[in-house]
Amino acid sequence: MNKSYDLLIFDWDGTLADSIGRIVEAMNVAAGRAGEAPSSDEAVKGIIGLALGEAIATLYPHLDAQQVEAFRRHYADVYMALDQQPSPLFDGVVESLEAFRAEGYRLAVATGKARRGLDRVLKANGWEGYFDITRAADETRGKPHPLMLEEILAHCRVEPGRALMVGDSAFDLQMASNAGMHSVAVGYGAMSLQALAEFGPQVCIEHFSQLREWLAEPAQINFQGR
């Protein structure tokens, strides 16, 4: 166990689960139902991590609050239909999380998903009660506001300097910085490592299992730029 950290906090979509393509598809199908033009894949990827209402308002700033809510309902219906079988976890996630637990790390999730959606995917993976705490965007402030992380830290009684946020979006890394925490950028999700590097992660990784390697020997391994 890396003596620098006690608590590992993970984003869900694009970090633990391979769900980015499904989110992009659902957003654009929902746009059609709402009478709006679809957004580019890159534009949708750029809002992943935000709470859903804020994400829609960012993509379609001309919508009023009532229209955003109608769009949000369309998205929820479409995503549920697409996600009858929850998105698979990335290679190495299950084995790495089990290893982290065995090594004594505390584990948490901080996600832009709603609580209902998070509980559904946790149940599908048999992970109810697996994490020390999980926080969803509709029960706290959304990313990049630090409140979500502050609540996790308080629950676990861990100081910010002893915790690490792992995520695939600028919002994850900004949230960590706002909370006074270190972060790890993953390059296989919503945003490229080149885009994420400017937010000052401790390390950039291209495969989830590289997190285990880096935590084992952080002074010797740096995957940034591979």
* Contact status, residue 68 vs residue 56, Cβ threshold 8 Å: yes
Q: Does 41 qualify as catalytic in the annotation?
A: no
| Alpha carbon 198 to its chain's center | 18
Residues in CB range of 13: below 8 A, 6 or more apart: 19, 20, 23, 48, 49, 87, 111, 112, 113, 168, 189, 190
Which position among 11, 132, 168, 172 bears the catalytic label? 11
Question: Is the distance from CB of 72 to CB of 7 less than 8 angstroms?
Answer: no
Half-sphere exposure of 205 (CA within 13 A, CB side): 22
User: Of the listed 13, 132, 168, 172, which one is catalytic?
Assistant: 13
- Reply yes or no on whether 77 is catalytic: no
Lay out the sheet containing 203-205: strands in order across. Answer: 133-135, 106-110, 7-10, 163-167, 182-186, 203-205
On whether the CB atoms of residues 164 and 182 are closer than 8 A, the answer is yes
The CA-CA-CA angle for residues 53, 56, 59, to 5°, reads 150
Q: Which residues participate in catalysis according to the annotation?
A: 11, 13
